[in-house]
A and B are shown apart, each in its own frame.
Chain A
Amino acid sequence: MGKIYEYKVLRVDLTNEEIKTEKISGELVKNYLGGRGLASKILYDEIDPKVDPLSPENKLIYATGLLTGTAASTGGRYMVVTKGPLTGTIASSNSGGFFGAELRFSGNDIIIFEGKASHPVYLSIMGDKVELKDASEIWGKPVYETTDLLIEAAGNKNARVSCIGPAGEKLVKFASIMNEKDRAAGRTGVGAVMGSKNLKAVVVKADEKQVEYFKDEMMKVVKKQTKILKEDGVTGEGLPALGTKVLDNIINSTGAYPTKNFQFAIFEDVDEVSGEALVEKGYLQSNTGCYGCPIRCARKTKLPNGRSGEGPEYETGWAFGADCGVNDLNAISEANFICNDLGLDTITAGATIACAMELYEKGYIDKDELENGPELKFGSSESIIYYTEKMAYREGFGDQLAEGSYRLADSKGHPELSMSVKKQELPAYDPRGVQGHGLNYVTSNRGGCHVRGYMISPEVLGVPEKLDPQELEGKPKWVMTFQDLTAIIDSIGMCLFTSFALGLDDYREIVNAGTQFEYSSESLLETGERIYNLERQFNLEAGILPEEDKLPARFDEPLPDGPQKGISTKYREILPEYYEIRGWQEDGWISEQKLKDMKIK
């Protein structure tokens, strides 16, 4: 039996096909919790941050959170931590579903993949039996088929599969890792690292639940928190009914809904593609959820053409919809399904097509380059489907798209048309309309990203309190607190969406109950701060310099339309204060003293 604060680590040397087990406990766990935090510490200690992300010297770490597999609400998550090929920063992608909990049940809390296999392999964990198996037969197969075949090969229909699709094998820079077919460790290209190692999948089925914790103490807290989550207007009512797509109309109404590669902030056809439309058009079948989740925000959809799957979520619907100027919900959902099956990050896939559309319309991409593919025009629903498939297989023009929008736009001489930070595409909120969120974009440790410090919550949604999106005062502190709190949630293996109803004290309570650790809220938040600083330090050592803490030039231009028309980004006015409250140097570097004080070095 494994106590949750004594991590069992599988070290899988793919080059020599050797598997060893190790343990991590004590101070390291207290200082880094698990999941994103602990795996980032391992990566920082074990690799040179300068390695080529797609070389055998990079490592790929699967890590469950401290509370993954326990009774904690939404406690089913795992993270994949590595150096990412899209950004060159530390990459950490988080996924729900059931795979993470099953991995924890099997008694294997963290897997470190090293080197590169000589031929395609997958890791099979069936009870006590852990082995690398040949994956030649399934190499090249999409995610759905791979999942079905591996479950069949496991001989147990309850086995859980986490795998890459063709995009990961082809080293598409934003390939995802998928579990239970539709759940994604989506961003930063973790799937390409997996592909570069010739690793197709991890399959796991536990014999018995090897998760030991202070159950009685924890159950009391779980009961209380489940009640909070069920009774809250957002987590108990809004998310179950409409999922994340409730945001389309909110963000559009406030004039921060990026349209046509962020050229506009209002999408006139929003009523065609919104979460409400998904319900009204009858595409939405039911809602569903991950392990231990009382919220159940995920959507099962069925299209008029008979195809069904999960999604689209808000970000995905936006990336293929408004960002590409497409108002066809059928095509958007189809592009989403293709991403899931071929293993692509939906945000970067859609946003890269949007960038290509602007490049094409401005004459920076030749018609010849498209090799008879549909014209890359804003609004073309044909294009989003066609090029999504092409980029996953790196066929024709898809090969250029597979590099992401920054490298694409740069190769055409117009890097400024890539709406990205540190080469990762921005998600569905125009930073000019939400100034704190803009600061979060530039200081996110994995580049353009909304789930490192979701300032939309206070600045637009009024959770936990309503802040004026254009006010600058106090925002650096808010951003820092959100970033550090998120690092905690990711490290304990709960879903970020719980934070719409739960706060720091609640996370402290559940961690302490399950482990009998004695965190105060302050010391727990300091743990989040430590994780954030460690990630930043990794990036600095990797050569991602503070000069990169910036937004594309487009955001210095005023918003052209909507209720916030005329406003441009103001992050530069608050970035120095952010560095200061972080205790960083004026130039954005972290001093040796600070690293020592934070027990990072």
Chain B
Amino acid sequence: MTLKVKFYSLFRINLKSAGTEYKLNSKITIAELIKKLDQDYDNYFTQKLLEEDRSISPGAIILVNGKNIIHLDKLETEITNKDTVTLFPPSAGG
């Protein structure tokens, strides 16, 4: 079992990657996941998902198993090996 992270929209196109996987030893928070991703992707995700005060950027979409973390424990939402995290930059359409 691994933690799956999926990239979409401009993330996927700019990074030329559909996502990554991590094998975790214990639960981590979304804030910690973003740090992990930053190490692997050159600080890309902090810049795209967080404000300077490290709150979630307006419009950035971070889902844990399809649920927006804003309605869970925000950046403190805990994730483990069986979870899927999905990341989108601010997006809209219709």
Measured CB to CB, the residues of A under 8 A from B are 232-235, 237-239, 241-247, 249-250, 253-255, 274-276, 279-280, 297, 313-315, 450-451, 454, 456-457, 460-463, 465-466, 468, 496-497, 500, 562-564
Contact = CB atoms under 8 A, between A and B. Distances in A.
Contacts of B6: 253
18 contacts: A232-B90, A233-B90, A238-B90, A246-B88, A247-B92, A249-B8, A253-B66, A274-B8, A276-B13, A279-B13, A461-B59, A461-B61, A461-B90, A462-B60, A463-B58, A497-B92, A500-B92, A563-B63
Interface residues of B, number: 26
Interface centre among A235, A456, A500 (most CB of B within 10 A): A500
A238 B92 contact: yes
B94 A454 contact: yes
Nearest to B9: A246
Given A276-B8, A276-B13, A239 B70 contact: no
Contacts of B71: 466, 468
A92 B88 CA distance: 33
Nearest to A232: B90
Interface of B: 6, 8-10, 12-13, 57-61, 63, 65-68, 70-71, 86, 88-94
Nearest to B7: A276
A243 B93 CA distance: 7
A468 B68 CA distance: 9
B86 A253 contact: yes
A250 B8 contact: yes
Contacts of A466: 68, 70-71
A463 B94 contact: no
Contact of A246 (B57, B86, B91): B91
A411 B13 CA distance: 47
A212 B71 CA distance: 49
A468 B67 CA distance: 10
Nearest to B67: A563
Nearest to B71: A468
Nearest to B86: A253
Contacts of A280: 13
Nearest to B11: A276
Contacts of B93: 239, 243-247, 297, 313-314
Contacts of A232: 90
Contacts of A249: 8-9, 86, 88
Nearest to A275: B9
Contacts of A454: 94
Nearest to A464: B58
A461 B91 contact: yes
Given A237-B90, A246-B88, A454-B94, 7 more contacts: A239-B93, A242-B9, A250-B8, A250-B88, A297-B93, A450-B94, A461-B61
